[in-house]
A and B are shown apart, each in its own frame.
Chain A
Amino acid sequence: MTTRAAGRPSFIVAALALAVASLGLVEAAAPRTIATGTIHGTVTLPAGAPGRRPSVSRPGGTSAADREQDALDRQTSVVYLDNMPRGMAGESVERKARLDQRGQRFVPHIVAIGVGGTVDFPNSDPFFHNVFSLSDVRSFDLGRYATGKSKAVRFDKPGVVRVFCDIHAHMSAFIFVFAHPYFAVTDGVGRYRIDGVPAGTHTLVLWNETIEPESRQVTVPDGGDVEVNLTVAASPAPK
């Protein structure tokens, strides 16, 4: 009994050493760096006409500041690579995001994370909010919660998740969940940048809530940048 017990650890150590050595060999055999490049550019959309449902029974109406922010939100887009081969996916994907509820809106309007990532939903307004989604990717209802409280949701499947507030019908936001790191959310003037894209030809997709997704083929040179400006000419149709 004692002999067998003493012999087992040495076997395990040997096996582990072999495994580690094997990994080292594999690591040494594989190329340490993959040729990559950058895709960047600007998304240009026609000026959208944001609109909240007329609040017939509430006297306040929508302020000019709210209308301006609504317009900016609707101009925000997501640019990403489609059909990225599994082995080419990198590890540097962001897996934490924050979607604040402030001034009766979700801030920011769009967040993007990697699969397995978590989004926090703090309530920064002095009244109740609720966050829920009917998406097939991740369906949830966080209930009503007050100022200063936050709830979080983990997303384990890639796709688009639209979230709403049950109390304030005009509030909505989008969460993009990716299985690779090759995506970007446009900034206030429509610029985007995707770094570390493996060299080669890829399908680049433009998503905006006011249009149908548009895609095009893009070839990324080894170690180089490629500028892809995406312009949508047609007026966005309400969806």
Chain B
Amino acid sequence: MRTLRLITATALVWLAVPAAPAGADLLPSRPITFGDGRVVVSGDVAISFGSQDVGYFNLFDYSHDAYNVLTMSISTEIRATDRIGFVGQVVDEVSLREREPGPSDRHVVYPYALYVRLRPAANQPFTILAGRIPPVFGAFARRDYGEVNPFIGLPLAYGYSTTMRPEPPPSRRELILNRGGGWAVRYPRATATVGPQGLPLVAARRWDTGVSAQWDGGKVDAGVAVTVGTLSSPQFDDDNGGKQISGRVGFTPVASFSIGVSGASGEYLSDAGESTDYGDVGGLPPPARYETHRQQALGLDAEYSLGHVVVRGEVVASRWDVPFQNGDPTLPLDALGSAIETRIALTPRWSMAVRGDRLGFSRVTAADGVVRTWDANVLRVEGAVGYLVRRNVRVKAGYQYNWRDGGRERSIGMAGAQLLYWF
């Protein structure tokens, strides 16, 4: 761990050195091209160092937390013809956490994007994507890149691990007892298909697999997708035979303002989670065994910008149909994530940003009559200052404070820095 930190710290200092003359650049600042420009390769490196996240507020997919992670990605686009292209992005993530939820998750390499792009008509803004595709739901997941996201952390709706899993909890009582413990619940789990942490409302760092059709008409844009996973549990292989339908319509009445409405509905419970034996029962007891358990979500996103100021807001409402292993009736469990952020460019190099973020959960009544939210509500305030060393090298320093009305750590402040390089 010490060696890894030394390497990343050295890289951080080296990359942050003020720009040398262009000819002396050791790293490319532009994508590398082959085949007369038909094959283009680009890359990103992001190193984040920060406080130890003992409350697991920033633990996103693959057990990595946004304040302590080294992420490297290579993107390739092959433009076979003007109408057909192949796009892929492979991400290599190394956790810099000192304590690991699971050793096997420390270093992961995964295909973030892998799809074929078809443009049926060269002069029409209509595109079909098939494969592991960018989500059409919401706004943040498509701009979850360090160069666009002014913060180190992700919005709660897109990264915070709730106690929800693609498998049934043992009972309502166990669910409530584990409020605020989304990173690792204490009850025996049916499978290990996802985890150890729970699902976010929308997984920004993993994309789903399927087909999407998108049309960008300037003032109005629209997209619809059919995928094998769900917003909270995207899949590479179908794990339940169900499909998710999602879509978004965006409207830009004036250049300074845009708004979008999204919706999604799909089966989120895995077959393994439903059929695993629980005690004396062979899989989920009826009638839950014969039900369809869906995640349904609605989203609203808006952006206003003028001059040196950009303001963005996003709301995600999610509902999961949750059965229980002990035969408790299936419950619709709701979550509402809302965030508003503003970014101000202070000078050509310096910028600052502030985000207010909240994640709330619906109430349920446990067998003993106690009424609580099914997971602990979370509130977060995050600020960041960015410095553009070069066009393709940015340094950020950030601080966030989290409050949670349950779980082991009720409140925690996090400070960190991030270095980004891309070409």
Chain A interfacial positions (CB closer than 8 Å to B): 47, 49-64, 67, 70-71, 126-128, 132-134, 139-141, 143-147, 162, 164, 166, 169, 172, 212, 238-239
A128 CB → nearest B CB, Å: 5
B211 CB → nearest A CB, Å: 12
- Per the bound structure, the CA–CA distance linking A212 and B256 in Å amounts to 40
Contact: B305 with A144, CB < 8 Å? yes
A56 and B113 contact, Cβ closer than 8 Å, known pairs A141-B345, A239-B23? yes
Contact: B212 with A59, CB < 8 Å? yes
A59 and B306 contact, Cβ closer than 8 Å, known pairs A49-B37, A53-B75, A238-B30? no
B69 CB → nearest A CB, Å: 19
Contact: B31 with A53, CB < 8 Å? yes
Contact: A62 with B29, CB < 8 Å? no
A48 CB → nearest B CB, Å: 8
- Per the bound structure, the CA–CA distance linking A64 and B81 in Å amounts to 9
B236 CB → nearest A CB, Å: 16
Contact: A127 with B252, CB < 8 Å? yes
Contact: A56 with B33, CB < 8 Å? no
A80 CB → nearest B CB, Å: 17
A239 and B22 contact, Cβ closer than 8 Å, known pairs A51-B40, A144-B305, A145-B307? yes
Can you name 5 A-B pairs with beta carbons within 8 Å?
A49-B33, A58-B134, A144-B307, A146-B255, A239-B28
- Per the bound structure, the CA–CA distance linking A144 and B375 in Å amounts to 41
Partner pick for B388 among A47, A53, A134, A144, CB 8 A cutoff: A134
B391 (CB) vs chain A CBs: closest residue: A164
Q: For chain B residues 295-318, which have a beta carbon within 8 Å of chain A?
A: 305-308, 310
Q: For chain B residues 224-270, which have a beta carbon within 8 Å of chain A?
A: 252, 254-256
Residues of A within 8 A of B305 (CB): 128, 144
A147 and B348 contact, Cβ closer than 8 Å, known pairs A67-B37, A239-B23? no
Residues of B within 8 A of A128 (CB): 255-256, 305
- Per the bound structure, the CA–CA distance linking A169 and B390 in Å amounts to 13
Residues of B within 8 A of A172 (CB): 391
Residues of B within 8 A of A162 (CB): 391
Contact: B117 with A239, CB < 8 Å? no
Q: For chain B residues 1-43, which have a beta carbon within 8 Å of chain A?
A: 19, 22-23, 25, 28-37, 40-42
Contact: B349 with A134, CB < 8 Å? yes
A51 and B33 contact, Cβ closer than 8 Å, known pairs A134-B349, A146-B254? yes
- Per the bound structure, the CA–CA distance linking A162 and B122 in Å amounts to 32
- Per the bound structure, the CA–CA distance linking A71 and B307 in Å amounts to 32
CB of B197 closer than 8 Å to a CB of A: no
Q: For chain B residues 99-153, which have a beta carbon within 8 Å of chain A?
A: 112-113, 117, 119, 122, 125, 127, 129, 134, 141-145, 147
Q: Please name the 10 residue pairs, one residue from A and one from B, whose CB atoms are nearest each other, closest first.
A: A54-B77, A51-B33, A143-B307, A49-B33, A59-B127, A146-B255, A51-B40, A141-B348, A57-B142, A143-B308
Residues of B within 8 A of A70 (CB): 37
Residues of A within 8 A of B112 (CB): 56
Residues of A within 8 A of B212 (CB): 59
Partner pick for B310 among A54, A57, A144, A239, CB 8 A cutoff: A144
A61 and B85 contact, Cβ closer than 8 Å, known pairs A126-B218, A238-B32? yes
Residues of B within 8 A of A63 (CB): 82, 122
B179 CB → nearest A CB, Å: 34
Residues of A within 8 A of B25 (CB): 239
Contact: A133 with B348, CB < 8 Å? yes
- Per the bound structure, the CA–CA distance linking A54 and B40 in Å amounts to 7
Contact: A132 with B142, CB < 8 Å? no
Known: A53-B423, A56-B89, A61-B79. 9 other contacts (CB 8 A): A51-B40, A54-B40, A54-B41, A128-B256, A134-B19, A134-B349, A144-B306, A146-B256, A239-B22
CB of B216 closer than 8 Å to a CB of A: yes
- Per the bound structure, the CA–CA distance linking A47 and B89 in Å amounts to 28
Contact: A59 with B214, CB < 8 Å? yes
- Per the bound structure, the CA–CA distance linking A54 and B33 in Å amounts to 11
CB of B76 closer than 8 Å to a CB of A: yes
Contact: B147 with A60, CB < 8 Å? no
- Per the bound structure, the CA–CA distance linking A143 and B77 in Å amounts to 31
